[in-house]
């Protein structure tokens, strides 16, 4: 466990490499008392957020509905604790035909295709609507995930929720990902977000699983508030 008092989150300043990960203890499932504390914190946080921000939910839902065709919510299967699949929710920020649009765009833009394979993200994503760009920049598209937290699919803090198709990108570190519930925020969120390559994201998820503590969760939540407020790394 890191105990460097000079930086409350020393591991957030630089991303570890796979070679460094090998020399740390493999991630393991939380002890029952730790799991109970983390779950209680998740439930309390989600309930407070729902209560305070319900007007924001309604405003964003209205904005999505009136600015583009398609459903208000985007749902997708993601991988959770123990490798179990769950339905993941976001406010829709993309066109209704987003999947087909991505395939067409990558087929005709080699540089974008290279960027997608490295980051699983695009700087100039043709699928994103104008209102969608706003709610992504402000992280408002993530608000429905508090429901995932409340029902127990996710935690407030954890590895970034990934798709089954991304499993191979985790390589030998897949068990570390599956040791904890994925999070609404995590080390990836406070360490660069969309500026990170996928391999860097894997390293951060692995570090979180291997060095978890409730104090780490609290520090990540505090840093997340600053990251969201400044929009750091949200592009």
Model confidence band, residue 15 (pLDDT cutoffs 50, 70, 90): very low
**Stretch among 111-125, 134-148, 168-182 having the lowest mean pLDDT:** 111-125
Q: How many CB atoms lie within 10 A of CB 216?
A: 20
Whether 13 has a pLDDT exceeding 70, the answer reads: no
Token pair listed for 132: 């969608």
Average pLDDT taken over every residue of the chain: 84
Q: How many CB atoms lie within 10 A of CB 80?
A: 24
Whether 202 has a pLDDT exceeding 50, the answer reads: yes
pTM for this entry: 0.80
Do the beta carbons of residue 207 and residue 109 sit within 8 Å? no
Q: Give the separation between CA 112 and CA 195, rounded to whole angstroms.
A: 15
Q: What is the mean pLDDT of residues 42-48?
A: 96
**Stretch among 9-13, 160-164, 176-180, 188-192 having the lowest mean pLDDT:** 9-13
Domain coordinates in residue numbering, the chain: 10-93+128-230
pLDDT tens-digit map of 206-229? 999 999 999 999 999 999 999 888
Triad 86, 153, 93: Cα angle to 5°: 65
Query: What's the distance, Cα to Cα, between the start and end of the chain in Å?
Result: 31
Whether 105 has a pLDDT exceeding 90, the answer reads: no
Q: How many CB atoms lie within 10 A of CB 82?
A: 11
Q: What is the mean pLDDT of residues 29-36?
A: 88
Do the beta carbons of residue 64 and residue 37 sit within 8 Å? no
Q: Give the separation between CA 217 and CA 220, rounded to whole angstroms.
A: 5
> What's the confidence (pLDDT) of residue 118?
74
Do the beta carbons of residue 156 and residue 42 sit within 8 Å? yes
Return the SS3 of 103: helix
- Residue 94, classified by CB atoms within 10 Å of its CB into exposed (0-12), middle (13-18) or buried (19+), is buried
pLDDT tens-digit map of 119-148? 777 777 778 899 999 999 899 999 999 999
Do the beta carbons of residue 71 and residue 145 sit within 8 Å? no
Q: Specify the pairing of strand 85-91 against strand 73-79.
A: antiparallel
Q: What is the mean pLDDT of residues 149-176?
A: 94
Token pair listed for 157: 């803090």
Q: What is the mean pLDDT of residues 139-158?
A: 97
> What's the confidence (pLDDT) of residue 100?
77
Q: Give the separation between CA 77 and CA 21, rounded to whole angstroms.
A: 28
98-108 and 110-119 helices, crossing angle to 10°: 120
């Amino acid at each position: 466990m890191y105990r460097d008092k000079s930086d409350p989150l020393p591991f957030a300043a630089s991303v570890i490499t796979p070679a460094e990960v090998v020399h740390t203890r493999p991630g393991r499932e939380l002890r029952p008392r730790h799991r109970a504390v983390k779950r209680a914190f998740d439930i309390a946080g989600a309930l407070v957020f729902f209560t305070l921000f319900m007007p924001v939910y309604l405003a964003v839902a209205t904005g999505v509905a009136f600015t583009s065709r398609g459903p208000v919510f985007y749902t997708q299967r993601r991988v959770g604790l123990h490798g179990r699949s769950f339905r993941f929710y976001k406010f829709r920020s993309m066109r209704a035909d987003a999947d087909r649009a991505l395939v067409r765009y990558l087929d005709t833009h080699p540089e974008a295709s290279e960027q997608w394979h490295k980051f699983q993200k695009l700087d100039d994503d043709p699928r994103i609507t104008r209102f969608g760009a706003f709610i992504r920049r402000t992280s408002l598209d993530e608000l429905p995930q508090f429901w995932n937290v409340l029902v127990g699919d996710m935690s407030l803090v954890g590895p970034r929720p990934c798709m089954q198709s991304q499993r191979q990108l985790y390589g030998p570190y897949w068990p570390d990902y599956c040791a904890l519930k994925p999070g609404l925020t995590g080390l990836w969120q406070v360490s660069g977000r969309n500026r990170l390559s996928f391999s860097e994201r894997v390293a951060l998820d692995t570090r979180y699983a291997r060095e978890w503590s409730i104090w780490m969760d609290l520090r990540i939540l505090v840093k997340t508030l600053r990251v969201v407020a400044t929009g750091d790394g949200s592009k």
